[in-house]
């Protein structure tokens, strides 16, 4: 019961923060991509897309007030036991294998760890976090230390399905940052769509847990992409598909 109510509320929260999170910078990049993509199509559809891009660009440069807060939550049914899922997540230093925007996590001993996230232009955002709750095979919760530039908290829960179909994972992460460089880098990083990023992180976690690897096409062979293909590649993020699972933290090549 409680869980259901909770879920509805946070759903609304995250929707709000998504609207806030779509900053002018993100919008401008999107608009530019749309214009470029539209123009390379050299067709009526392309012209329409370019026109739509121009409207977006206009909206993007209009000033707007926004905060850099985000809250996202997602749920997946895993084909594993709670023990297996808990063990994989509890190894914090390996979180970057499936958390795409996290460059590295370093254990500082005890319950503390140092996190490095990557914003646009490879700007690094650092903070220290502590584990606030650790119930083996059930729940892990963490939050940033009070003096950090970034305030973040997160939790992950593993619940066995009552009909023995696997384990539900429910993950939630909340970020907020005051203004300044770190704040704006973080905002751009999350501005894409916090709910989407969270969902893809947990999807990669599921795949890593179930198959031992994260599927990728990064680095595969292909013919010349051309101008149109290059913009599509950007839009569909083939090159930014995933961090290389064999070199966790080596984000540069994939970014």
Partner 1 sequence: MKAVCWMGKEKMQVHDVPDPRILNPRDAIVRITSTCICGSDLHLYDGFVPTLEQGDILGHEFMGEVVEVGPGISKDKLKVGDRIVVPFTIACGNCQPCHDGLWSCCDNSNPNAWIAEKMMGYSPSGLFGYTHMLGGYAGGQAQYARVPYADVTHMKIPDGLPDEKVVFLTDIFPTGYMGAENCNIRPGDTVAVWGCGPVAQFAIRSCFMLGAGRVIAIDCVPERLELARKGGAETLNFNEVDVLDALREMTGNRGPDACMDAVGMEASGHGAVYAFDRAKQIMRTQFDRPIALREAILACKKGGTVSVPGVYAGFIDKVPFGAYMNKAITMKTGQTHMMRYMKPLLDRVQAGEIDPSFVISHKVPIDRAPEMYKTFRDKQDQCIKVVLKPWEQAMAA
**What residues make contact with partner 1 under the rule CB under 8 A?**
45, 77, 79, 165-166, 196, 199-200, 203, 206-207, 210-226, 228-229, 232-233, 236, 238, 241-242, 244-246
Minimum gap (Å) between residue 82 Cβ and partner 1: 16
Minimum gap (Å) between residue 37 Cβ and partner 1: 12
d(CA 171, CA 44): 43
Q: Between 132 and 246, name the residue whose CB sits nearer to partner 1.
A: 246
Q: Between 76 and 130, name the residue whose CB sits nearer to partner 1.
A: 76
Minimum gap (Å) between residue 45 Cβ and partner 1: 7
Minimum gap (Å) between residue 100 Cβ and partner 1: 12
User: Which residues on neighbouring strands pair with residue 76, listed in sequence order?
Assistant: 169
Q: What is the 3-state secondary structure (H, E, C) of 10-73?
A: HHHHHHHHHHHHCCHHHHHHHHHHHHHHHHHHCCHHHHHHHHHHHHHHHHHHCCCCCCCEEEEE
Q: Between 94 and 199, name the residue whose CB sits nearer to partner 1.
A: 199
**Strand, coil or helix: 254:** coil
Q: Between 7 and 253, name the residue whose CB sits nearer to partner 1.
A: 253
Backbone angles phi, psi at 32, to 5 degrees: -60, -40
Q: Between 137 and 233, name the residue whose CB sits nearer to partner 1.
A: 233
> Can you point out the beta strands (E) in 41-150?
69-78, 102-107, 112-118, 124-135, 139-144
Minimum gap (Å) between residue 245 Cβ and partner 1: 7
Q: Between 72 and 129, name the residue whose CB sits nearer to partner 1.
A: 72
Q: Do the beta carbons of residue 104 and residue 173 sit within 8 Å? A: no
- Going by their DSSP bridges, the two strands 124-135 and 112-118 should be labelled as antiparallel
d(CA 169, CA 105): 21
Minimum gap (Å) between residue 149 Cβ and partner 1: 31
């Amino acid at each position: 019961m409680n869980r259901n109510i909770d879920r509805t509320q946070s759903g609304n929260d995250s929707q709000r923060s998504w609207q806030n999170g779509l900053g002018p910078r993100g919008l401008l990049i999107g608009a530019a991509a749309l214009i470029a993509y539209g123009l390379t199509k050299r067709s009526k559809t392309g012209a329409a897309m370019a026109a739509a891009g121009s409207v977006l660009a206009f909206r993007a440069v209009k000033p707007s007030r926004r905060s850099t807060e985000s809250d996202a939550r997602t749920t997946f049914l895993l084909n594993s036991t709670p023990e297996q899922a808990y063990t994989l997540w509890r190894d914090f230093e390996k979180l970057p294998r499936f958390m795409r925007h996290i460059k590295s996590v370093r254990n500082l001993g005890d319950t503390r760890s140092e996190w490095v996230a990557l914003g646009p232009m490879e700007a690094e955002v650092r903070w220290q976090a502590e584990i606030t709750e650790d119930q083996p095979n059930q729940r892990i919760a963490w939050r940033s230390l009070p003096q950090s530039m970034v305030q973040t908290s997160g939790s992950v829960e593993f619940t066995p399905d009552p009909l023995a179909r696997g384990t539900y994972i429910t993950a939630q992460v909340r970020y907020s940052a005051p203004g300044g460089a770190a704040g704006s880098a973080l905002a751009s990083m999350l501005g894409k769509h916090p709910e989407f990023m969270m969902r893809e992180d947990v999807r990669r976690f599921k795949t890593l847990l179930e198959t031992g690897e994260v599927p990728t096409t990064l680095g595969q062979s292909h013919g010349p992409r051309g101008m149109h293909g290059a913009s599509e590649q950007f839009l569909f993020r083939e090159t930014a598909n995933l961090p290389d699972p064999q070199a966790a933290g080596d984000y540069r090549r994939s970014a």
